[in-house]
Structure 1
Amino acid sequence: MISFTQTSDTSELKQILALQQRNLPKQLTEEEKKTQGFVTVEHDIEILSKMHNLHPHIIAKDNNSVVGYALSMSTSFKNEIPVLIPMFNEIDKLDIHPNFIVMGQVCVDKAYRGKGIFRGLYDTMVTTFSGQFTSIITEIDANNTRSLKAHEAIGFSDLCTYETEQQLWKVVVMSI
Structure 2
Amino acid sequence: MPVEYGRAGTDQDLKEILLLQEKNLPPQLTEEIREREGFLTVSHTLDLLGRMNEVCPHIIARKKGRVVGYALCMHPDFSEDIPILRAMFNQIRASLPSGKTFMVMGQVCIDKDYRKQGIFRGLYRTMKEALSDRFDLIVTEVDGRNRRSLEAHLAIGFQVLKKYQSDGRDWYLIIL
Q: Tell whether the structures are fold-level matches, with TM greater than 0.5.
A: yes
Q: Which runs of 4+ in 1 moved over 2 A?
A: none
- CA distance in 1 between partners of 2:86 and 2:10 (Å): 27
Q: Any stretches of 5+ residues in structure 2 without a counterpart?
A: none
Q: Identify the range of structure 1 (87-96 vs 148-157) with the bigger mean alpha-carbon deviation.
A: 87-96
Structure 1 counterpart of 2:167, one-letter code = E
Pairwise CA distance, 1:98: 3.4
Structure 2 counterpart of 1:110, one-letter code = K
- CA distance in 2 between partners of 1:93 and 1:130 (Å): 22
SS in 2 for 1:155: coil
SS in 2 for 1:132: coil
Aligned residues: 174
Post-superposition Cα deviations, 1:65-93, rounded to whole Å, max 9, x if no partner, equal 00000000111111111110010111121
- CA distance in 2 between partners of 1:84 and 1:165 (Å): 10
Aligned to 1:90: 91
Aligned to 1:6: 7
TM-score of the pair, normalised by structure 2: 0.97
Give the conservation status (yes or no) of the 8 Å contact 2:71–2:108. Answer: yes
- CA distance in 1 between partners of 2:153 and 2:17 (Å): 20
- CA distance in 2 between partners of 1:162 and 1:8 (Å): 35
SS in 1 for 2:154: helix
SS in 2 for 1:124: helix
Confirm whether residue 163 of structure 1 aligns to residue 169 of structure 2: no
- CA distance in 2 between partners of 1:95 and 1:102 (Å): 12
- Over the aligned positions, Cα root-mean-square deviation in angstroms equals 0.8
Structure 1 counterpart of 2:13, one-letter code = E
Pairwise CA distance, 1:166: 1.1
Confirm whether residue 154 of structure 1 aligns to residue 156 of structure 2: yes
Structure 1 counterpart of 2:22, one-letter code = Q
Equivalent positions of 1:99-138 (< 5 A) are 99-138=101-140
Q: Percent identity?
A: 46
Aligned to 1:33: 34
Pairwise CA distance, 1:101: 0.4
SS in 2 for 1:85: helix
Pairwise CA distance, 1:63: 2.0
TM-score of the pair, normalised by structure 1: 0.97
Give the conservation status (yes or no) of the 8 Å contact 2:8–2:14. Answer: yes
Structure 1 counterpart of 2:69, one-letter code = G
Q: Any stretches of 5+ residues in structure 1 without a counterpart?
A: none
Confirm whether residue 43 of structure 1 aligns to residue 44 of structure 2: yes
